[in-house]
């Protein structure tokens, strides 16, 4: 196969995920506010080789299909009903692949830790060895409950044997099947027409495709993962939390190596889609989700939350108990205490006083509006800026103000009732 050969993926996402004990479909559970299925589709798309994805849906099919169609232009859903095993699931895309002369990548929709880098290595190995089929495998010290990879003396795949069918010798094998496959489609597609359900579960299994390929004398091999964490499948809320921790540790390790200071990695969560430049400091108990760009020399936290679609210029300070969402903040602006900045554009050298809120949401019309605050402006403590308001350059907002109109450059905006003092109030109330 040429390096330019295009790939289409089949992503298995039909399962109920009973152990999640949730009305939400398993593949739509989130880490850093991003769906598990989204991690898998992105990993495939980001290889630059996958042109189209077929997502096999079943349980809560409408919900999963709605997510896929709203999020990805190159993904289509195919319904598996009834659900008769992994081989039957993949077969639902068979008609779509009629006449396709490239490669087919089969993935599971609940493996968010699998990286694009690994997929590219997997594809490269498959092509270099001119395989008809390559299965992604991993070495586990305790391989219990996994299908074992049985090899010939030349390293080619001989079989994948499930634990219940394995001999004692086969059970001692530590290389296991992760359920990820790459197929030379013109060579292997007929395997799907030869599946049978002659097993205790009366289901059609993907491992039978491996069996068919080997029986035809075609070359099948395994590709061993360098990092077993990438094969981690999510089947429970406990595993969801474990995957989130693995992912955040992976992200933080990279950031530390890139010159970012993370004061307390144990209490800090940063999404993999967040870019942070060197010499920025992330203080404890900070949570950053979604896609963000943070320039150098920023200070964030402690107890700060960045919710996605945020850009911070050089030297910005986001302080304790501050929440930022869908906002662009230019260099050397301070949002230091107890504030909410959402759907906003803040200029350079702006000072946001403690307790400032940009009120961006109309709960009746469900509309959101943008607040704009220009360079060198400032807001006093406990201010509310009601969008769409524009605060001009060098303008000031007095403490305790509710601003619902534009404030021009160099002006002071102030809404405050006159102060009234009732002398000797304490003694009168006391008596």
Break the chain into its structural domains and give their ranges. Answer: 7-231, 237-413
How many CB atoms are located within 10 Å of the residue 123 CB?
Answer: 22
Regarding the domain delimited by 7-231, which CATH topology (the fold level of the hierarchy) does it fall under? Spore Coat Polysaccharide Biosynthesis Protein SpsA; Chain A (3.90.550)
For 99-132, the pLDDT digits (tens) are: 999 999 999 999 999 999 999 999 999 999 999 9
Known catalytic residue at 88: no
The values of phi and psi at residue 306, to 5°, are -115, 120
Q: Beta strand 7-13 with 281-282: parallel, antiparallel or unpaired?
A: unpaired
- Calculate mean pLDDT across residues 138-147: 93
The model's confidence at residue 288, banded by pLDDT at 50, 70 and 90, is very high
- How high is the mean pLDDT of the chain? 95
Say which of 332, 337, 363, 390 is annotated catalytic: 337
How confident is the model at residue 2, as a pLDDT?
A: 56
Over 80: is that where the pLDDT of 199 sits?
A: no
Residues 6+ apart with CB under 8 A from 344: 326, 327, 328, 329, 358, 360, 370, 371, 372, 373, 387
Given this chain, do its domains 7-231 and 237-413 carry the same CATH topology?
Answer: no
Token code pair at residue 157:
């795949």
* Residues β-bridged to residue 386: 359
Give 3's pLDDT tier (boundaries 50, 70, 90). low
Each residue of 405-428: pLDDT tens digit?
Answer: 999 999 999 998 888 999 998 888
- What are the percentages of helix, strand and coil residues in the chain, rounded to 5? 25, 30, 45
- The residue whose two tokens read 């795949």 is 157
Q: Specify the pLDDT at position 273.
A: 96
From residue 19, alpha-carbon distances to 15, 29, 114, 186 in Å are 11, 13, 22, 38
H/E stretch holding 179 reads strand 175-184
The CATH superfamily holding the domain 237-413 is Hexapeptide repeat proteins (2.160.10.10)
């Amino acid at each position: 196969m040429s390096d330019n050969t295009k790939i289409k993926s089949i992503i298995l996402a039909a399962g109920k995920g009973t152990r999640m004990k949730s009305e939400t479909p398993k593949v739509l559970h989130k880490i850093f506010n991003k769906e598990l299925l989204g991690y898998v589709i992105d990993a495939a798309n980001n290889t630059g080789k996958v042109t189209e994805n077929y997502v096999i849906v079943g349980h809560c099919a409408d919900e999963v299909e709605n997510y896929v169609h709203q999020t990805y232009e190159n993904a289509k859903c195919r319904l598996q009903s009834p659900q008769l095993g992994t081989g039957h699931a993949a077969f639902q895309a068979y008609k779509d692949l009629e006449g396709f002369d490239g490669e087919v990548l089969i993935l599971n929709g609940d493996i968010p830790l699998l990286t694009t880098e690994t997929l590219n290595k997997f594809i490269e190995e498959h092509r270099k060895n001119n395989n008809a089929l390559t299965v992604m495998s991993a070495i586990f010290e305790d391989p219990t409950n996994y299908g074992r990879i049985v090899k010939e003396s030349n390293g080619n795949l001989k079989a994948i044997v499930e634990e219940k069918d394995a001999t004692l010798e086969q059970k001692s094998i530590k290389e296991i099947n992760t359920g990820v496959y790459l197929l030379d489609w013109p060579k292997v597609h007929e395997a799907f027409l030869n599946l049978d359900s002659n097993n205790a579960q009366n289901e059609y299994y993907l491992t039978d495709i491996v069996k068919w390929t080997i029986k035809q004398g075609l070359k099948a091999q395994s590709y061993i993962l360098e990092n077993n964490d990438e094969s981690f499948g999510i089947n429970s809320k406990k595993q969801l939390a474990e995957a989130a921790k693995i992912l955040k540790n992976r992200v933080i390790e990279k950031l530390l190596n890139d010159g970012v200071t993370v004061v307390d990695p144990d209490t800090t969560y940063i999404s993999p889609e967040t870019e942070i430049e060197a010499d920025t400091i992330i203080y404890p108990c900070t949570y950053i989700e979604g896609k963000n760009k943070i320039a150098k020399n920023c200070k964030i936290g402690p107890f700060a939350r960045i919710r996605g679609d945020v850009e911070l210029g050089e030297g910005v300070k986001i302080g304790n108990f501050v929440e930022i969402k869908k906002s662009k903040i230019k260099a050397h602006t301070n949002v230091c205490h107890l504030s909410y900045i959402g759907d906003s554009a803040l200029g350079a050298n702006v000072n946001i006083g403690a307790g400032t809120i940009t009120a961006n949401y109309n709960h009746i019309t469900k509309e959101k509006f943008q607040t704009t605050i220009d360079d060198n402006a400032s807001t006093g403590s406990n201010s509310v800026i009601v969008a769409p308001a524009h605060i001009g350059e060098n303008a000031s907002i007095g403490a305790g103000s509710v601003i619902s109109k534009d404030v021009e450059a160099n002006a002071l905006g102030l809404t405050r009732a006159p102060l009234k003092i009732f002398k000797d109030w304490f003694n009168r109330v006391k008596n």
